Amino acid sequence: MDSEVLLSQLAGSGIEATHEAADDGANIVVINTCGFIDKAKEESVNTILDYVGRKEDGLVEKVFVTGCLSQRYKDDLQIEIPEVDGYFGTMDMDQLVRTLGGDYKQELLGERKITTDSHYAYLKIAEGCNRPCSFCAIPLMRGKHRSRSIEFLVDEAKFLVNKGVKEIMLIAQDLTYYGIDLYGKRKLNDLLNALADIQGLDWIRLHYAYPSGFPVEILPTIRDRSNICNYLDIPLQHVSDNVLQAMRRGINKQRTVDLINRIRDEVPGIAIRTTMLVGHPGETEADHQELLQFIESARFERLGVFTYSHEENTHAGNVFQDDLSDEVKERRFDEIMEIQQDISFEHNRKLVGQSLKVIVDKQENDYFVGRTEFDSPEVDNEVIIYSDQALKTGDFVEITISDAMEYDLIGKTKV
């Protein structure tokens, strides 16, 4: 999303710029980095080195680096990779635009050049995070939570809808906190209602709600507003009280279980997506078994797992030893994914014979690929669609599900 805002700012100054996916032969390159966990850092550094190499070969004139990694490790990066022409933090977009020869325009705030498939887009409702999660470096890179106003977000959503966007993913490091900094109280429900009123916005979905202090008043809104997907991404990270406490998540097992039950009671049929973190310092085998049992009984529709990465300057990095081996972390990861694979298959099998509304994402060979309201792009299940009709990207179609796999469905358009 930051890349999309940058592209729009550059276009506003008459500077032609494209997303890498669209053009890999540029002479000035801006690399938007991630510094969240080791793997992402490695990928970002490799990309920087790759483009620095191209600069040395004369294929690229200048290389600039922005984003989280640059925010967090600017000084180190300047020493380690001095061939880069400029490092910018997450809050230095105006400086970056000026360095690229543009003029940062306040009137373009809220404007973006969409780089996703144009029928869906991400809407960042807040930046930063105030939570103290032991393992997380995001507050170090993104700063304190800053909500964007409801008016601003409604305007941005209308702008996206006018560009042809039909589905919007609300994202923030922490949706739950939305509004407290700006309005003195939680305002996610008001925001959802305001967005749901926008004509032409077919699907709204929510990513990354922190479980502690979850605004339960949004549950009837999700249930009753037809264009808010029955979908909630609520990263739980763990369920054992020992680990939750060490993680400083501000919630315990009982409250977690109560919350999940309440979500399911108030929004029947909701697809819950969660994320777990294995291998946190001090996670015992008993803690892990407790987590496995919880996953088995909670039967989440969608679930992802991360292995703990020991990050400097985080609470866990400062006070704990990274006491579990990579082998143990990997085994715990695999055990969760094995259970979840069966759960996902069981959920999918129940859909065979049913008719579902699906959005068409793309065409591949002789079939189309789409998603139900229970699936977010990039991370969730897909529906393989066979159809005699000429479907277009962004179309909504009724699909009869004919077969199910662990993570995908197969179906035909209804005749």
Residues that bind ligand SF4 (CB under 6 A): 129, 131, 133, 136, 138-139, 173-174, 210
Number of Cβ within a 10 Å radius of residue 286 = 10
Q: Output the CA–CA distances (angstroms, integers) from residue 341 to 199, 316, 336, in the order listed.
A: 38, 30, 9
Nearer to ligand SF4, 95 or 212 (CB): 212
Closest CA to 273 of 305, 245, 241: 305
Least distance CB 245 / ligand SF4 (angstroms): 14
Nearer to ligand SF4, 123 or 209 (CB): 209
Q: Which residues contact 335 (CB under 8 A, 6 or more apart)?
A: 288, 292
Determine how β-strand 271-278 pairs with β-strand 228-233: parallel
Nearer to ligand SF4, 89 or 139 (CB): 139
Q: Which residues contact 95 (CB under 8 A, 6 or more apart)?
A: 88
* Complete DSSP assignment for 254-322: HHHHHHHHHHHHHSTTPEEEEEEEE--TT--HHHHHHHHHHHHHH--SEEEEEE----TTSHHHHHS--
3-state secondary structure of 67: strand
Least distance CB 289 / ligand SF4 (angstroms): 24
Nearer to ligand SF4, 132 or 164 (CB): 132
Nearer to ligand SF4, 51 or 73 (CB): 73
Least distance CB 178 / ligand SF4 (angstroms): 12
Nearer to ligand SF4, 203 or 214 (CB): 214
Nearer to ligand SF4, 28 or 180 (CB): 180
Least distance CB 134 / ligand SF4 (angstroms): 9
Number of Cβ within a 10 Å radius of residue 384 = 18
Least distance CB 249 / ligand SF4 (angstroms): 8
Least distance CB 128 / ligand SF4 (angstroms): 8
Least distance CB 277 / ligand SF4 (angstroms): 9
Instruction: For residues 385 and 357, give the distance between their C-alpha atoms in angstroms, rounded to a whole number.
Output: 12
* Helix 326-349 × helix 285-298 angle, to 10°: 10
